[in-house]
Structure 1
Amino acid sequence: MNILQIRLLFILLLNLLWAQSDQLENLTKSAGSYQSVYRDLSNTAIPLEKEIDPNKYYLGPGDQLHVVVTSLENKLLPGQEFDLFNAETIEYYVLIGPAGELALPSIGQFSTRGKTYHQIKEDIENTAIFKSYKKVMITVRLAAIRSFKIQILGAVEYPGFVTVTATDRVSDAIKSSKGVQKYGDNVIVYLDRAGIRKKIY
C-alpha cells in the first residue's frame, strides 16, 4: 500500500468519524426534547433585590408560569395512599398572552388582568381540582418575569426606550439611560401612565 492510498484511507476514516459524531449530536438533541418532565425550561434567572411577594406581584403579559399537575388516582402500594413514582403527571410552561389571557389545556382559561400571582395560583388549583381531576397534587410557580419597553425623557444622558422588568425600580430605568445629566435634577421625576402624570421624587 503506497503513501497515497494510506492518505486516502485516513481521510475516509476521518469523514466517517465526523459523520458519526454529527449523528450522535443530532440524536442527543432529539432525545433532549423527551427528557424528564421535571426538566426546567424556564428563562434565565433575573437578579432580584429580594423575593417576590405573591400577594403584591400582579401578573401581566410576558410572565411565564410553570404548572405541574400530578394525578393521584392510580393506586396503590400496601399501606400507601398513592404511588408518586407511577403517578400521571402533566406539565405546562405557559406565557401570559398580550390581553392577559392564560390557557391551560384540560384545565381551563384564566384572565390575569388585575390579579396577583397568589390569586391566579389559587384559581388554577381550585379549577383543576373541581373541573378536571378528582385527586391531584398541583404545583404552580412563577418561572420567568416579564420585560417590556418604557420611554425615558428629559435630562438623562441617553433619552429613549429602555427595557425593564416588572420588578425594576424607576432608578433602575434611569440608570439604563446612563443616568441624569450633569445639570439635571434627580429629585424631580415624573411617571406618565395612561395620560396621567404622577410625581415620584
Structure 2
Amino acid sequence: MSKVYVIFIAISLILGNARAQVSQVDMRIGSFNNLRGQDISREDNNLKSLDLESYKEVASLESAISPDKYILGPGDELGISIIMGENLTLPTKVTPTGDLFIPSVGLVKVSGQTLDVARKKIKSFIIENAFPNAKVSIALLNIRKFQIQVVGAVNSSGFIEISALDRLDKIIFASDGFHPLAKEFDISVERGNGEKEKINFLNFLRQGDLKSNPTFLEGDIIHVPFGDPYLNSISLRGHIENAGYDIIEKDESLLSFLNRSIDLINETNLMSIIVTRNENGVEKIYNVSPKDFSNFILSNGDIVDIPRDDGIMVNGFVQKPGAYAYVPGYLAYNYISMAGGNTKDGSINKIKIIHSNGSISRNFNTILKRGDVIIVERSTINTLAGNMSILQIVASLLTIYMTYLSSSK
C-alpha cells in the first residue's frame, strides 16, 4: 500500500511540474493581456502606419496651436502622409541638429521655422526629390521638451525641463518658487538669438497679462534678480502662511501687495492691518482699513502686521486649554467640549465667562462674542478635599471623630 502511495505522489509531482511549464490562459472576462508581446505579422506591402504608443503622452494645451506662430525645434514629432499609388504614412522626429529625416527622401532643415513654413518646405522637398505626383499632408503629433536655464532669486536655480508651450509661471513653480528677496517685477530674459527683454511677472499675477508670462525656446536664459533689503524691502508678519521679507515695487500700494503676495489662513483678519514705519527716526504706527488699502503706499522698511480674528479662550480645569475659533451661536459648553471637556478636578457647573468689555457672567446660555474668555473652575469637592479619594476622606473623618471621642472622655 505504501508503495502505491509513493508512486501516486511521484506521478502528481511530475504532472504538476509539466503543467507549470504550459502558459496559462487568462480566463478573466474582457482581458487581452495574453495578446501582449505577440508578434502580429503584417503583409509587407510598403504600407506603413503610425506607432500610436509613441503618442500616448500629449502635452496639455491652452488652446489649439497656431501653425503660423509655433516654432519647430529638435524633438518635435511630425506625421507625414504621402498618398500616391500606395499610401505612405511616416512618423518622424526633428533631429538634434534641427533636420527632419524622411525615409527614401532625405533630410530637410526645419528647426527655427514656424510649423506653417515648415509644412510648405517639407511638401516641396518631397515632391521635388521623390514623389512628384504625390498628395502630401503634414501634422504636428507631439510637442518637444528641452532644458532651459533659470538663475538668480529662485529656490532651485539650474536647468529645468519644459515643453515648447510652457510659460514662465510653470518654470518658476518647477524651480520651487521665487526666493523671498526676488524682484518678480524685473525679470530679464536673454533669448537664444541674442535679444534681451524685461518681464514684470506681477502684471500676470494681477491682471492675467500673458505678455508677462511668456513661453521660451532652446537657448533662452531666465534671470530673476535679487532685491536689496536695505533699499526696497518690507517685513510681513502675523496670521498668514508666508510671513517674512518681501521686495516691493516703487510706489506699490498695500492693496497691490496683498493681491500678489500673501497666503491667507483661517481666522486672518484684513479689517485693520497695522503698518509700522520709521519716519526720520520716529516710529509711527498706521491702522489701515480696507477702504484705504489702494491709497496707502508702502515704503522701504515698513513692517506689515496681519492680525488674527479674536476667537474664544478656554482656560481652567479643561483637557486642552487654549484659543478656539469663534463660531456664531456656540455657547460655553460647546467651547468646553472643543477643549476636550473638564478634567476630574473641574466642574462643568462652575464656569466663569469674562467678556471682552470686562464684565463677568456665570450663565451657561450667555451669548458669546469674539475675545470672550471661559474659565472652568475647580469643583467644590476638589476645593475641599483636593486629590484625596473617597476612602481617604472617610478615613480622615473617622480619624477626626475618634480623636474627638478620645479627647472628650
Do the structures match in fold with TM over 0.5?
A: yes
Measure how far apart 1:7 and its partner are. 2.4
- 2:197 maps to a residue whose letter is K
Q: For the structure 1 residues 122 and 197, does the alpha-carbon distance in structure 2 shift closer, same or farther, using more than 3 Å as the test?
A: closer
Q: For the structure 1 residues 32 and 152, does the alpha-carbon distance in structure 2 shift closer, same or farther, using more than 3 Å as the test?
A: farther
Q: Which among 61, 74, 78 is matched to residue 65 of structure 1?
A: 78
**Structure 1: unaligned runs, 5 residues or longer:** 74-87
C-alpha separation in 2, matches of 1:139 and 1:32: 28
Structure 1 vs Structure 2: percent identity of aligned residues? Answer: 26
Q: Deviations over 1:131-158 (max 9, x none)?
A: 4224323221111211111121122121
Measure how far apart 1:39 and its partner are. 4.4
C-alpha separation in 2, matches of 1:145 and 1:199: 26
Q: How many residues align structurally?
A: 182
C-alpha separation in 1, matches of 2:195 and 2:8: 86
C-alpha separation in 1, matches of 2:115 and 2:105: 18
C-alpha separation in 1, matches of 2:114 and 2:196: 25
Q: Which among 96, 105, 126 is matched to residue 128 of structure 1?
A: 126
Residue 37 (1) aligns with residue 49 (2): yes
User: Alignment RMSD, CA only?
Assistant: 2.8
Greater relative contact order (Cα 8 A, min sep 6): structure 1 or 2?
1
TM-score (norm 1): 0.77
C-alpha separation in 1, matches of 2:173 and 2:88: 42
SS in 2 for 1:42: helix
Residue equivalent to 1:103? 101
Residue equivalent to 2:168? 170
How do 1:1-80 residues align onto structure 2 when only pairs under 5 Å count? 2-17=8-23, 28=38, 30-31=39-40, 37-43=49-55, 44-71=57-84, 73=85
C-alpha separation in 2, matches of 1:97 and 1:174: 28
Measure how far apart 1:17 and its partner are. 2.6
Q: For the structure 1 residues 173 and 33, does the alpha-carbon distance in structure 2 shift closer, same or farther, using more than 3 Å as the test?
A: farther
**Structure 2: unaligned runs, 5 residues or longer:** 1-6, 27-33, 201-409
TM-score (norm 2): 0.40
C-alpha separation in 1, matches of 2:48 and 2:95: 27
Residue equivalent to 1:200? 199
Asked which structure has the greater CA Rg, the reply is 2
Contact 1:190 1:200 in 2 (8 A): yes
Measure how far apart 1:31 and its partner are. 2.4
C-alpha separation in 2, matches of 1:33 and 1:115: 37
- 2:72 maps to a residue whose letter is L
C-alpha separation in 1, matches of 2:146 and 2:112: 18
